Amino acid sequence: MSSYVLIPGMCHGAWCFDEVAASLRSAGHHVLALTLTGVGERSHLMPGGVNLDTHIVDVLAAIDNDAATGADLILVGHSYGGMVITGVADRIPDRVDSLVFLDAVVPRDGEACWDLVNDEERQWYVKVDDSGFGVPPMPFFDDRATSHPLATVLQPLRLRGDLNGFRRRIFVYALDWPGESPLRPSYDRVRDDPTWICHELDGRHNLMRDRPADLLRILLSASQS
């Protein structure tokens, strides 16, 4: 049994992984799918004081508090979630086996999510909601989506160690974007690196919804020796 930790992208909660999480559990694995502070059903918590560090601590605390979550974790981050799983892996490298970047940003030390996306994505970030602190969900997002704390995409990630030592680093790239993908720079960063495993899926950004069977196959491969 492997332990999968699933981290959603901006504006989304743990519910975006419901189908994939159920399939992983049916295959005998333990799954911890999380909604981050200030988003979804947790949108009322510290809306003006949530940054990237908050979300990294969210995940570390959830791992520590879940008795069924063992060692050799497989961290899965969708979109912005790539920032979070990178920060978590850096802080508990001895417990992490593999990282899966699901159409996600791949940061290096000192980089913010803002630095890794294109201008169109940045224009969305700064069109804040009435609170002045939140990035509103796109009109086509799930009805459960809520605003996302702006500071999380502006704060640089500070890394303490080298992330090259994990057994597997996987990138899953979504091909069906209506225009230029804001994740293309991150994909280009890793696609020719022989230490990464890269997949392209003919689906839209929310691959959990568009290509659940293909995604499940990739996630299960991460647990294989």
| Active-site annotation, residues | 79
CB 4 within 8 A of CB 74: yes
Measured in whole angstroms, the distance separating CA 142 from the mean position of its chain's CA atoms is 17
Name the H helices within the chain: 18-26, 52-65, 81-91, 113-116, 119-125, 151-154, 184-190, 207-210, 212-222
CB 29 within 8 A of CB 2: yes
As a whole number of angstroms, the distance between CA 199 and CA 60 comes to 28
